[in-house]
Amino acid sequence: MNCRTFILTFVALCFSVAPLKSFAQKSTSSASTQPPSREQILSARRIVFLGDSITAGATYVIDFATVLRSQKLPNGGPEVLSVGLSSETVSGLSEESHPFPRPCVHERLTRALSALKADVVFACYGMNCGVYMPLDEERFAAFRAGMEKLHNETVASGARIVHITPPYFDPARKPTQAFYADVLLKYSEWLVSQRAQGWEVIDLHSAMREEALKRKALDPKFTFSNDAVHPGAEGHWLMAQQILAWLGDSAVAEAPTLEALLQKRQFPIAAMKLIEQRVQLTKNSWVQAIGHNRPGVAKGLPLEEASAKAADLDAQVDALLK
């Protein structure tokens, strides 16, 4: 059953009985299982980030990977990979005005989990899943169905999944779609409610929304996202901060920028640049190797060649840190 068929089947079954305010979607995967400690993430072999264009841009993933390296974990810590794909959803929906049908993560998820063999998956979806339209029960049900499928399939693969609520949509930057801020708030609230089912959820949305409103009170022109959707460097740092703080790095919350934190930890900026190269290099190669149906994606090196270059970049980072 393909992604669109699954989503439409689920929605047909639940649409007539699921009121908009109900979040009672029982997880069948790990509801009764005590989640492993967060320390197990830091000792993982491979951490993978799944998501849409915000993850495909990879800035917050690079920030995250750099801070992990600054923690001086055994053997350099986990390998961190981004395999974000622009325009992607978990809902399987796409607006008519979009230049092409939006890709759905479920078209490639089985292949991705099999190829990547991740120990931990961080998944950040939702921004595209309501297709920039007002809150609607059918679209909301498609988001819930897609998210549950993502959760259950990832757990079944043997990986641990940590959900990240979608970033804040800035209504001031797109007044004609200001309603979409409420859509993402509802989607985020539902995701957070799944903690009761044993899901691990980092509530990025609330943190970004609260910070944006606080900053706007001082400067009405302030925004994390000039186009309302895609955060700039400051917004990506806030994203990384939420994940790292959730993992127990208390110092990260006090750092106004990644560079300030690295300076305090005496971590060379040159090493950060090498980590950035590695994340971008491996992202393009893995996205290509896994396969997808989105047009216009940059091609990466063959995986074997990219792996060799990544190993060389790792060696250069090791040399700088020594």
Q: Which domains does the chain have, with CATH numbers?
A: 31-321 (3.40.50.1110)
Listed in sequence order, the residues at least 6 apart from 189 whose beta carbon sits closer than 8 Å to its beta carbon are 23
The yes-or-no verdict on residue 35 having pLDDT over 50 is no
The C-alpha atoms of residue 214 and residue 287 are separated, in whole angstroms, by 37
Name the average pLDDT for the chain.
91
174 vs 4: which has the higher pLDDT? 174
The whole-number pLDDT of residue 37 equals 72
The yes-or-no verdict on residue 15 having pLDDT over 80 is no
Ramachandran category for residue 228: left, alpha or beta (phi over 0 → left; psi -120 to 50 → alpha): left
The C-alpha atoms of residue 254 and residue 236 are separated, in whole angstroms, by 15
171, 126 Cβ separation under 8 angstroms: no
Output the pTM of the full model: 0.89
Residue-wise pLDDT tens digits, 93-144: 999 999 999 999 999 999 999 999 999 999 999 999 999 999 999 999 999 9
Helix 59-70 vs helix 233-246: angle between axes, to the nearest 10 degrees?
Answer: 50
Over range 201-224, report the average pLDDT: 97
71, 77 Cβ separation under 8 angstroms: yes
- Angle ∠(194,244,285) on CA atoms, nearest 5: 90
- List own/partner pairs for 96-102 with CB under 8 A and 24 or more apart: 98/131, 100/294, 100/295, 102/128, 102/131
32 vs 284: which has the higher pLDDT? 284
